[in-house]
Homo-oligomer: A and B are copies of this chain.
Amino acid sequence: MDSELIWRIAGGSGDGIVSTSDNFGKAIMRSGLNVFTHRHYPSRIRGGHTYAEIRAGPTELKSRGDGYNFLLALGDSFGRNQKIDSAYYGNERIKPLTENLYDLHNGGVIVYDTGIIDIEDVPDFSEQVAENNWHVYPIDLRSIAKEEGRDIMRNTAGIGATAALLEMELAPIEALMKAAMKGPIFEQNLTILRNTYSMVADTFEFTHDIRFPSGEHNETQALVSGSHAIAYAALDEGCRFIAGYPMTPWTAAFTIMCGILPDVGGISEQVEDEIAAAALAIGASHAGVKAMSGSAGGGFSLMSEPLGLAEMVEQPIVLLEAQRAGPATGMPTKTEQADLEHVLYTSQGDSTRIVLAPGDPEEAYEQTRMAFQIAYGYNIPVILLYDQKLGAELRNIPLSFFDRDPDPSMPGTIPESDLIDAPHHPSGKYHRYNYDAKDGVSLRSIPGQKHGRFHASGNEHTQEGHISEDPINRVLQMDRRRSKIAAIRTYLDAQNVSNNTPYGPLSSPYGILTWGSNKGTVEEAVDRLNSSGTPLVKALSVSDLCPFPTQEVTSFVESVSKILVVEMNATGQFQGLVKQQLGAYGDKLYGLLKYDGNPFEPAEIVAGFEEKIMGEN
């Protein structure tokens, strides 16, 4: 019997499966289990292959897991124009069942909505069921829903059926429904939930093994995504200005910020394009506000020139870059890690930017705070690079994690009272770009401050900011700007905790290197690979991409004989970065790449390790 549940709900886009599964996930969390979710949906408003998955268990969960063991197939009711029957291509209507069979574990459970899915249309269904020992519960969810309320409420019926089959308590589900709905809608849903629950419990003989796992939390948990963690960290850093243009998957974080900012006297701006978005963040920051912007890779392309401007005028900004599968429009709702090089290098000239790539929601929170601290401390643009996976996955974190002090400070600015004694050009202009600034960080004045006027220019410039092509000034300014990168590495190295996470037994002969959102999946794979007890493999999940943690990575690489480099792209961009930074050890590195739009499952990493690292022994 599986000790954990991986529940999948499948339907068409627009069928409301997201909110249903989010609420169900929270109910599960409240029941004392750990929760990890995953979403799969197409780039259109209605229809298409869409599911949401909840993995739940009593122990720590670091990934979506492998495959799943409980399918709730609602059928696709919004495929296309629902009034016309021909609006369904071939088997569209039954796809929520058929497209999901592939990954279902042996012995898994299937609940499907007989109100929409005609099982006769599914080729070889009974053969497959027999072969895989699936336990099938056909239920007319649609009719149950319609009877008490509306068609769409078959989600709730599905949850009722799930709870019954898992022998799970309804209380936490009902509590959440009560909080989310009101009036007759709540009443209808409640009835549907309870009716289905008892109908299923009464009607079916349960042949399956899976039951709701039991667990308990020591403290209150919060169910958050990476996008939430990022937005909340920005809030705690005193960021009160965001400018943006919608683009999946960055829209999630943008939306959260737009929802909160008016509450806290901040400003959110949706503007004409991403060039403007980045430029607005620069303008607001220039005028003294902690500001941010962001996009997915496509919009970030348009930010390329403003990003370079921020480097040159040393304007602090934080930009989010939420990766999705590229190139070009690519697969807008699918995950990938192929914008690494783009983010490191886009924009003309030698780049002077910081790039951080958190691995999970906690890190997303910490690194976003770090992003603001570095940006507004060192007067430099910082990019937080993440992906659709991290942005959308929900998992539980202790609420106490968020019990932090806000920090709106901007150490890169100079208080007005210090300005008068600060270095100035004889003409009275402030030396905003002072050659001798400590760590290269020349403090910035803010328009409206007395004795602070200076000239900010995208051209090379003197200490007070006037345009200059003098070669000596040029080199001094370039070197000062660039020196901030090393100073930031030193600063990061001086922190108590590194952002780069080692995992697994130190004495392991082999290693796995990864970055960003693969962290948890890799760690899960490491545990499995070491499950025999003999140390076999350890991992290092890199979260600081620039400045690169050369020392940490070098010692890791030197401590093992072969390394699997796990990343979600087709060209091994991170592996390339490691080689470029280390200039050595290339022959120890073996790439494991995935770029079909889906994140790794732990078993794939285990298999990749066995093939690429062990297979050659």
Write the chain B residue with the least CB distance to A598.
Answer: B471
Write the chain B residue with the least CB distance to A41.
Answer: B469
A302-B305, A344-B345, A345-B344 as given contacts; A329 in contact with B459, CB under 8 Å: yes
Q: A595 at interface (Cβ–Cβ under 8 A)?
A: yes
Which residue of B330, B331, B458, B580 contacts A576 across the interface (Cβ within 8 Å)?
Answer: B580
Which residue of B323, B346, B571, B585 contacts A301 across the interface (Cβ within 8 Å)?
Answer: B346
Flag A324-357 by CB within 8 Å of B: 1 or 0 each: 0111111111101011011011111111100000
Report the minimum CB–CB distance from A254 to chain B (whole Å): 17
A457-B329, A584-B583 as given contacts; A348 in contact with B323, CB under 8 Å: yes
Q: A42 at interface (Cβ–Cβ under 8 A)?
A: yes
Provide the bound-state CA to CA distance between A587 and B297, in Å.
35
Q: Select the residue from A42, A347, A479, A582 with max chain B CB neighbours within 10 A.
A: A347
Provide the bound-state CA to CA distance between A595 and B43, in Å.
45
Flag A402-431 by CB within 8 Å of B: 1 or 0 each: 000000000000000000000000000000
Contact B334 A469 (CB under 8 A): yes
Q: Select the residue from A327, A333, A595 with max chain B CB neighbours within 10 A.
A: A327
Which residue of B304, B345, B584 contacts A586 across the interface (Cβ within 8 Å)?
Answer: B584
Provide the bound-state CA to CA distance between A611 and B422, in Å.
39
Provide the bound-state CA to CA distance between A475 and B336, in Å.
13
Interface residues, chain A, with chain B CB atoms under 8 Å away:
42-43, 49, 296-298, 300-302, 304-305, 308-309, 311-313, 323, 325-334, 336, 338-339, 341-342, 344-352, 457-460, 467, 469, 471-472, 474-475, 478-479, 482, 569-571, 573, 576-577, 579-587, 589, 595-598
Contact A349 B336 (CB under 8 A): yes
Write the chain B residue with the least CB distance to A485.
Answer: B571
Contact B596 A471 (CB under 8 A): yes
Q: A331 — which chain B residues lie within 8 A by C-beta?
A: 459-460, 469, 474
Provide the bound-state CA to CA distance between A304 and B301, in Å.
6
Provide the bound-state CA to CA distance between A584 and B329, in Å.
35
Provide the bound-state CA to CA distance between A304 and B339, in Å.
12
Report the minimum CB–CB distance from A467 to chain B (whole Å): 8
Which residue of B341, B346, B350, B589 contacts A569 across the interface (Cβ within 8 Å)?
Answer: B350
Q: A49 — which chain B residues lie within 8 A by C-beta?
A: 469
Contact B312 A328 (CB under 8 A): yes
Q: A469 — which chain B residues lie within 8 A by C-beta?
A: 42-43, 49, 331, 333-334, 597
Which residue of B311, B350, B586 contacts A595 across the interface (Cβ within 8 Å)?
Answer: B350
Known pairs A331-B469, A338-B349 / 18 extra A-B pairs, C-beta < 8 Å: A43-B469, A302-B304, A325-B349, A327-B347, A327-B349, A330-B459, A336-B349, A338-B348, A338-B350, A342-B348, A342-B349, A350-B571, A350-B573, A475-B595, A576-B580, A582-B586, A583-B586, A584-B586
Q: A458 — which chain B residues lie within 8 A by C-beta?
A: 328-330
Q: Select the residue from A309, A311, A469, A598 with max chain B CB neighbours within 10 A.
A: A469
Q: A346 — which chain B residues lie within 8 A by C-beta?
A: 301, 304, 342, 345-347
Q: A325 — which chain B residues lie within 8 A by C-beta?
A: 349, 460, 474
A341-B345, A469-B331, A585-B583 as given contacts; A482 in contact with B308, CB under 8 Å: no
